[in-house]
Structure 1
Amino acid sequence: MSTLKVGLVGWGAIGRIVGTALAGQDVQGAELTCIVDNRPLGEAAPAPQVTFEEAIERCDLIVEAAGQGVVREWGEHVLSSGTDLLVASTGALTDDELAKRLLAAGPGRVYFTGGAVGGLDLLQAVRALGPIEDVRLTTTKLPSTLEQPWMDEELLGRMRSATGPVVVMSGTARDVPVKFPKSTNVAASVALAVGDLDAVRVEVVADPGATLTRHVIEASGEHGSYRFEVAHRPDPGNPATSQVVPYSVLRSVAALAGRSGQIL
């Protein structure tokens, strides 16, 4: 089997861990070929820094670790060029039109990683039996990681002065990831598993005592009821994401490389 040539987009908290592991050959059957980032990487980068176009030409797989905007701007072009795309920022897929275009594009294939949440494979299996009627996701994070430019002073004041949990937003998996583009990709991942953005009710909670980032998924339907809860340490370099996310990306790359799930 030939080696999977991987281009990494983004050299931030997620990208550095993913890129370092790939460059160290921790994922059998995959190699880091190049890195795309709009900031100078310096001599310490483990692979050449290239333009997006060059990465598409050189690679079999582009790994997005740079945010929803990259998926919107480049996703179709990557796929139409015949290169596969692994999306970490699943929140971009709350845009129905973009999701339809990506799924229809080719000959490259688009893949999504589960990121910071589990149980998605079970929800997909249950969905095959029939509709999942009630799906709820509650995400709890530190207030500082949830502050957004659109928030008014009243909400910001409540978050900053909170001594306990504060509900920041309630909505659907269609609404919430747009408002929190770096913090709520889990909502989109759950919706992709369930197959309906509007069926997933999401509550975002700011809690000054949230030393761990917590996601609770509750789902029920004709065929059963399900509850998944995860609590992760935030990434010290980027508290808006969980430490586990880059390792989820690496497991996805390993699966695409056709190897076992053992990575590190």
Structure 2
Amino acid sequence: MVGTVIRVAVVGRGAIGAVVIGELERGRVPGARLVATVDLGDSLADAIEAADLVVECAGQRALAEIGPAVVDAGRDLLVVSIGAFTDDALLARLRRGPGRVHLTSGAIGGLDLLRAAARTGPLEKVLIVTTKKPATLGVAETDGPLEIMRGPAREIAAAFPRSTNVAAAVALAVGSFDAVEAVVVADPAATLTSHVIIASGPSGDYRFEIRNRPSADNPASSQVVPYAVLSAIEELARCAST
């Protein structure tokens, strides 16, 4: 319906949630209105009742706790902590609805092209290499770049839940957590967070490199992430109004 304003509840008031809440409060997302904010331990029921869209900005554990209640109530759910979907049962549970699940692009781009490429036939190679400062990854300082872990995106996203939602996003775009090889590199000289994505298949060869500034409040996340969330909210509001 033209002129519809979607009512938004935000779960989590950390580095990502605080920015999202602030922009919504200032009316900077056309077609969207903030109606509730929730921290873990707060009552979720009132927020779900008041909202059309619940935005998860609180981490993988929180998503597993709140997600079923949101979709069971028929509310849409916008997910930031995509790494939680290494749990196939959780992903299947949320997709059953009746509420719809939407994903943010987070700190990377190119997912639409990867999704299209995967539809042309199985991709022969999908690799994502993430490089961050050692402290951000929770490891000891190194003398130079050091590969910390390599394996299927499912294992990497589970091992580094605060730092590798990007690996999960790539895996969901191509349709398989186990077909995507992920590498985590600790580099003391990394002033920016780097994600290099390489893929090849029947439709061609692809390479994307993203270099983001870390969030000042939470260096494990990128500064751009809350703005990706806001863009997703705006797009959902636009779709609801047409």
In the superposition, the TM-score normalised over structure 2's length comes to: 0.95
TM-superposed CA distance for 1:131, in Å, is 1.2
Q: Secondary structure at the match of 2:219?
A: strand
1:150: which partner in 2?
none
Shift of the alpha carbon at 1:25? 0.7
Do residues 115 (structure 1) and 106 (structure 2) align? Answer: yes
Q: Which residue of 2 aligns with 1:153?
A: none
Identity of matched residues, %: 53
Distance across 1 between alignment mates of 2:217 and 2:23: 17
Task: Report the CA distance between 1:128 and its aligned residue.
Answer: 1.6
One of 193, 199, 204 as aligned partner of 1:224: 204
Task: Tell me what 1:131 maps to.
Answer: 122
> Is it true that 1:164 corresponds to 2:166 in the alignment?
no
Equivalences for 1:1-264 in 2 at 5 Å?
Answer: 1-38=3-40, 51-104=43-96, 106-147=97-138, 156=139, 159-160=140-141, 162-258=142-238
The CA deviation at 1:86 is 0.2
Give the SS at the match of 1:107. Answer: coil
SS at match of 1:74: helix
Alignment partners' CA distance in 2, 1:69 and 1:103: 18
> Using the alignment, how far apart are the partners of 2:209 and 2:226 within structure 1?
19
- The alignment's C-alpha RMSD in Å is 1.1
Cα separation, 1, equivalents of 2:40 and 2:81: 18
In the alignment, the residues of structure 2 paired with residue 143 and residue 32 of structure 1 have an alpha-carbon distance, to the nearest angstrom, of 37
Q: Which runs of 5+ in 2 are unaligned?
A: none
Q: 1:65 is matched by which residue type in structure 2?
A: C
CA contact (8 A) 2:83 2:169 kept: yes
Q: Secondary structure at the match of 2:33?
A: strand
CA contact (8 A) 2:11 2:17 kept: yes
Partner deviation per Cα, 1:4-37 (whole Å, 9 max, x = no partner): 1000001010011111001111011001111001
Query: What is the DSSP-based 3-state SS (H/G/I as helix, E as strand, rest coil) of the residue aligned with 1:7?
Result: strand
The whole-number CA distance in structure 2 between the counterparts of 1:252 and 1:132 is 27
Task: Tell me the TM-score normalised to structure 1 length.
Answer: 0.88
Check the 8 A contact 2:40/2:62 in 1, yes or no. no
